[in-house]
Amino acid sequence: MAVEQFSARADLQAGTLVKVKARGFEFSLDEPPELGGTDTAMNPVEALLGALGACQAIVARSYAPMFNVELDEFWVELEGDLDPDGFMNKAEVRCGFSDIRYTYHIKSSSPEQAVDDFIAFIGTKCPVGDSLSQGVNLTLAGVVRE
């Protein structure tokens, strides 16, 4: 199958509020007051955690039948370690997450071994997790001055 290209647009509004659009959908991102925002929406790193958890949950739903696993309930709790001083240019520390931890919560009547095999598989098919753990090339494609 050929590589598909995905796209999104992020438009800065007042303050640190950003409207993100993709395929006719839209959501907002902002920062809490201590980071210069008005706290009207989750911030980008919270959205990143949410995207990882959502991706894992979608993989779980998509592949459960292959493993003969019944998913009565499935959710992911995530937390990440990030030093805001990197973003705020207050210290020579990494701007992004240094660690991300997640916990799967699964309610299933399926055999324990099937669930264990299924859980081990989920992380191997999550594109967001793969992008985070394997890295991705970030390239400034250009600057348009208007």
Helix (H, G, I), strand (E, B) or coil at 101: strand
Same domain? 125 vs 67: yes
Same domain? 111 vs 130: yes
- pLDDT tens column, 55-69: 999 999 999 999 999
Q: Is residue 13 in a domain?
A: yes
- pLDDT tens column, 131-140: 999 999 999 9
Same domain? 49 vs 105: yes
- pLDDT tens column, 93-128: 888 999 999 999 999 999 999 999 999 999 999 999
Helix (H, G, I), strand (E, B) or coil at 79: strand
Using CB atoms within 10 Å of the CB of residue 102, give its burial: 0 to 12 exposed, 13 to 18 middle, 19+ buried.
Answer: middle
Domain extent at residue 90? 43-134
Same domain? 84 vs 29: no
